[in-house]
């Protein structure tokens, strides 16, 4: 249970600002060849893409081989025209571009003796991308608008694509503000990157989100599972790339209001009566021209106010603490954006987003109401982007992003001791934290196209600079924490108390640099090779300037600062092959190395707080610390130390095929193998031997080492179909994910300083769902009724069974498993949920349409236990069963207003 003390020291750092994550622009591109009627390439042909929304024109000229490359195009609809004097211009109308997409459109131009009207052809673009080797999926605006989303948190939308699932969190409840609840690939949520308009939205200490965005402000986003280009970095497991909405030449607005009430909610799995519950969620957006064809604006706001509830369930062990309790929640999301065309070659974007919210967090399952914390967030992000197309065809894109975040986690109850039973956590929470963070990042990307005898090269290169400044204050165990072996024990088996100084103040700074180069080389028209190289370095990613005050007192505490990790060189190679040349079958594959952002929290927080006197009292006869008569001057200190730290990384290999069947049914199958290395873990180097610590002058010596590992073997299958009145997507994931530790600070039962053997810890990852099926769809029915639905099934997640006893004599009952049983050897409950949304356009007046909405969440009222709420102590009343559950069926009524 020393883990609790350690977490409370570092928890403030979870709220710090993000380390840099270089990412590709949230744009798309068009490539192709222009030929004459004899199929000979044409040089110096003007190719122009005209945005149907903004009227902005993007123009390039073909090379000597007739090739062109239009890049940096915001997602949306375009009309594409190719023309040259003496040739009849041709226009492809209605070309639709999605985020991160590269499509190929070729032109054939015919001679024109006299001036003729341009030839216009209506197209929807080719069915498949034939030049992109990434394993990626796009959720467009239609799916974002139509699908019923219970919390309207954009990060949860990513869980609708193959290979992604809900990540684990430290508590039994839903994720708090800023917690990224999504996992991709082999690693947990901390290794997932999230980019918004090219700016990093993850905090750099634990990889969680700095904040959220209103769904009204999102145009679409891309989930990249593997083989992302060298432009993308500082994420070892995957990338979410978000493009926000911009205004256009026409003024348009939309709004919604949704409401729930207890009368529309089914009785929860552990409730005896319906709680007093209501929730309102509303928002509005407005966009349009400031100067048509030149300057546009877009603004959005969403507010969610919830008189929600959480149910405490101890299986009857503590009936006085059981029940359903109010856990209020309010969240305000703000967004504004201005786009300005200074000239055909210059485009400026100014974007602001913010989140201000408050919630009661950590209640439910085996955590009593008094154990909760009041969680507040105040986040503001500003991004400035400049796009400059040079006459020579070079494109320069520069971004400056500044994000400021303030957080607090304060006790929900008055001071007093914290009590930990096998089936209950009671008393006030053991800690409070406050933090303030500021991060500024500057990146510049350059791209160009080159053609010759070797084929076509689409080259991009760039650099990224990021500065992090974080201040935190925390207090922990001021009133003591006491641990009981059994629910019925009248006295604790152990107490843990911190003495003067009870507060820790930290000030951490870090500078990070990244450089990359990428060449998408097409030696032949049907083959593209993606060749990338990326290099990352941090000046203080693992606390390089610090030497422990206890250096030299024990042999394994370093006496000199750690060196900077300078070998983070990440090569990547991929291919996309169109074997038939018709754009209906694509074979993709590749291999790459991907580095994560260094986890600075353990070093910055723990090492700098070494020496804090924390005493463990075994078999105390009281839970009142004033009665323990402990002299703080006699308490041995707790020391944290680290060896050389390597940045966590993955080696990823992929191979897949995508094929367009008759009827434009798209089938995609990808095999993905991921190896994660250098994951941070923690071990105790001051074990109890013969009833006393090996080094009695210290209470604990805790070492952090980058020795954890993870593997994932995944089969990703997707089927998608669009038809005139709707769409359907079905995704399936077959996964086998294993690791040595689920979270960065997970203790391993390894006490020998000279030996590090983790074979006994190798087992399924906590988020290892062997099977996951997600089906989504929408259809327009007569009478202006639209129906959208999503169905999710996930097989059981694993957990580790422990005896709850000190079987090995180390005075720690948290890591003793049944004989012969490995980590995460048991499985909890399955998950199944169906959500349905209906919208009826009841009234259309002029350019506005008013619709009535009905959303039904968990249609079949399935009991879905929270995986992290499963009691793991063998013999506990609810062992192996979930002590808390996701809500049962809920109905939501509302109104939507939008353009007709």
DSSP result, 454-512: TEEEEEEEEEEEEEEEEEEEEEE-TT-EEE-SSTT-SS-SEEEEE-S--EEEEEEEEEE
Tokens 């919630």 locate to 359
pLDDT of res. 3 = 36
pLDDT of res. 123 = 56
From CA 481, how far away is CA 497, in angstroms rounded? 6
Question: Using CB atoms within 10 A of its CB, is residue 93 exposed (0-12), middle (13-18) or buried (19+)?
Answer: middle
In angstroms, the Cα distances linking 310 to 62, 70, 277, 325, 369 are 62, 52, 11, 5, 9
- Which regions of 292-345 does DSSP assign to beta strands (E)? 295-307, 309-312, 323-326, 329-343
Cα radius of gyration rounded to whole Å, the chain: 28
From CA 622, how far away is CA 454, in angstroms rounded? 80
In angstroms, the Cα distances linking 702 to 530, 694, 713, 807 are 44, 13, 33, 21
pLDDT of res. 673 = 96
Average pLDDT by consecutive 10-residue portion of the chain (900 residues)? 34 29 64 90 90 88 88 89 88 88 88 61 64 90 90 89 83 52 83 91 76 93 90 89 93 95 88 86 96 95 91 90 90 97 89 95 89 92 93 88 92 88 90 86 92 89 90 79 90 81 69 94 93 92 80 85 88 95 93 86 66 77 82 80 86 96 93 93 82 83 87 96 92 96 72 79 93 96 93 95 82 82 92 96 81 96 87 85 88 91
In angstroms, the Cα distances linking 851 to 146, 250, 842 are 13, 22, 5
Q: Pick from 432, 451, 439, 444: which is nearest to 403 by CA?
A: 439
What's the 3-state SS for 224-284?
EEECCCCCCCCCCCEEEEEEECCCCCCCEEEEEEEEEEHHHECCCCCCCCCCCCEEEEEEE
Q: Pick from 716, 582, 709, 606: which is nearest to 657 by CA?
A: 716
Q: How many CB atoms lie within 10 A of CB 820?
A: 6
**For residues 283 and 302, is the Cβ–Cβ distance under 8 A?**
yes
Instruction: Give the chain's length.
Output: 900
Question: Using CB atoms within 10 A of its CB, is residue 291 exposed (0-12), middle (13-18) or buried (19+)?
Answer: exposed
Q: How many CB atoms lie within 10 A of CB 307?
A: 18
**For residues 669 and 229, is the Cβ–Cβ distance under 8 A?**
no
pLDDT of res. 55 = 86
Q: Pick from 8, 96, 1: which is nearest to 609 by CA?
A: 8
Token output for 652: 């990823």
**For residues 300 and 255, is the Cβ–Cβ distance under 8 A?**
no
pLDDT of res. 173 = 41
From CA 888, how far away is CA 578, in angstroms rounded? 47
């Amino acid at each position: 249970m020393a883990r609790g003390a350690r977490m409370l020291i570092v928890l403030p750092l979870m709220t710090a600002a993000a380390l840099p994550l270089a990412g590709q622009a949230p744009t798309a591109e068009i490539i192709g060849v222009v030929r004459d009627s004899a199929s000979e390439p044409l040089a110096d042909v003007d190719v122009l893409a005209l945005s149907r929304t903004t009227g902005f024109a993007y123009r390039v000229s073909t090379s000597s081989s007739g090739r062109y490359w239009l890049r940096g195009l915001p997602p949306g609809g375009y009309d594409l025209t190719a023309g040259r004097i003496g040739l009849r211009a041709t226009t492809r109308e209605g070309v639709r571009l999605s985020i991160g997409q590269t499509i190929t459109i070729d032109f054939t131009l015919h001679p024109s003796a006299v001036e003729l009207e341009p030839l216009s052809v209506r197209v929807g673009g080719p069915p498949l991308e034939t030049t992109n080797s990434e394993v990626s999926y796009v959720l467009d605006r239609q799916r974002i608008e139509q699908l019923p989303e219970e919390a309207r948190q954009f990060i949860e939308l990513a869980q609708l694509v193959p290979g992604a699932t809900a990540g684990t969190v430290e508590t039994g409840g839903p994720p708090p503000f800023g917690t990224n609840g999504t996992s991709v690939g082999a690693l947990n949520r901390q290794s997932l990157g999230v980019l918004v308009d090219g700016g990093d939205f993850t905090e750099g200490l634990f990889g969680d989100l700095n904040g959220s965005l209103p769904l009204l402000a999102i145009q679409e986003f891309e989930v990249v599972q593997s083989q992302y280009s060298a432009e993308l970095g500082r994420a070892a497991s995957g990338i979410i790339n978000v493009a926000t909405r911009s205004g256009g030449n026409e003024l348009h607005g939309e709004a919604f209001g949704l409401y729930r009430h207890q009368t529309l909610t089914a009785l929860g799995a552990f409730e005896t009566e319906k709680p007093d519950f209501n929730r309102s969620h509303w928002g509005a957006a407005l966009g349009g021209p400031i100067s048509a064809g030149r300057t546009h604006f877009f603004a959005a706001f969403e507010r969610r106010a919830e008189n929600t509830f959480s149910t405490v369930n101890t299986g009857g062990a503590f009936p006085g603490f059981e029940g359903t309790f109010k856990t209020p929640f309010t969240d305000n999301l703000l967004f504004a954006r201005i786009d300005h065309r200074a000239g055909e070659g210059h485009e400026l974007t100014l974007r602001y987003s913010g989140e201000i919210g408050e919630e009661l967090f950590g209640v439910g399952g085996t955590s009593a109401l008094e154990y909760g914390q009041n969680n507040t967030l105040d986040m503001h992000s500003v991004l400035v982007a400049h796009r400059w197309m040079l006459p020579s065809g070079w494109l320069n894109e520069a971004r400056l992003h500044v994000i400021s975040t303030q957080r607090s986690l304060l006790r929900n109850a008055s001071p007093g001791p914290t009590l930990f039973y096998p089936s209950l956590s009671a008393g006030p929470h053991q800690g409070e934290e406050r933090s303030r963070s500021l991060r500024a990042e500057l990146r510049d990307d350059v791209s160009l196209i080159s053609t010759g005898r070797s084929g076509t090269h689409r080259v991009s290169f760039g650099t990224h600079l990021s500065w992090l400044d974080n201040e935190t204050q925390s207090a922990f165990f001021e009133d003591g924490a006491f641990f009981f072996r059994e629910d019925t024990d009248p006295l604790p088996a152990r107490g843990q108390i911190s003495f003067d100084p009870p507060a820790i103040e930290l000030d951490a700074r870090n500078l990070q640099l990244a450089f990359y180069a990428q060449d998408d080389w097409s030696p032949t028209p049907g083959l593209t090779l993606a060749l990338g190289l990326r290099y990352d370095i941090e000046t203080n990613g693992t606390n390089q300037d610090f030497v422990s005050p206890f250096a030299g007192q024990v042999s394994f505490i370093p006496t000199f600062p750690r060196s900077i990790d300078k070998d983070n060189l990440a090569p990547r190679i991929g291919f996309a092959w169109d074997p038939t040349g018709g754009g209906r079958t694509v074979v993709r594959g590749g291999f790459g190395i991907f580095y994560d952002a260094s986890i600075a929290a353990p070093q910055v927080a723990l090492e700098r707080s070494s020496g804090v006197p924390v005493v463990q009292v075994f078999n105390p006869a009281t839970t009142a610390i004033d009665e323990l008569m402990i002299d703080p001057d006699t308490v041995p200190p707790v020391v944290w130390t680290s060896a050389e730290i390597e940045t966590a990384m993955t080696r990823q290999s992929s191979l897949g095929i995508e094929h367009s069947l008759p009827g434009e049914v798209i089938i995609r199958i990808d095999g993905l193998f991921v190896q994660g290395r250098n994951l941070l873990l923690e071990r105790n180097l001051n074990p109890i031997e013969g009833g006393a610590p090996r080094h009695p002058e210290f209470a604990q010596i805790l070492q952090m080492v980058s020795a954890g590992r993870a593997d994932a073997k995944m089969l990703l299958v997707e089927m998608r179909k669009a038809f005139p009145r709707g769409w359907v997507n079905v995704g399936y994931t077959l996964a086998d994910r294993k690791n040595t530790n689920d979270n960065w600070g997970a203790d391993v039962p390894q006490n020998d300083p000279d030996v590090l053997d983790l074979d006994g810890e190798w087992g399924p990852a906590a988020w290892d769902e062997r099977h996951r099926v997600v089906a989504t769809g929408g259809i327009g029915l007569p009478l202006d009724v639209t129906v959208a639905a999503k169905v999710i099934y996930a097989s059981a997640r694993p957990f580790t069974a422990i005896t709850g006893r000190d079987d090995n004599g180390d005075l720690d009952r948290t890591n003793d498993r049944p004989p012969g049983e490995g980590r995460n050897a048991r499985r909890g409950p399955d998950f199944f949920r169906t959500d349905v949304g209906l919208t009826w356009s009841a009234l259309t007046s002029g350019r506005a349409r008013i619709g009535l909405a009905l959303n039904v969440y968990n249609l079949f009222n399935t009991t879905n236990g929270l995986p992290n709420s499963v009691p793991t102590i063998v013999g506990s009343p609810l062992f192996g069963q979930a002590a808390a559950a996701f809500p049962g069926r809920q109905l939501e009524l509302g109104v939507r207003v939008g353009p007709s």
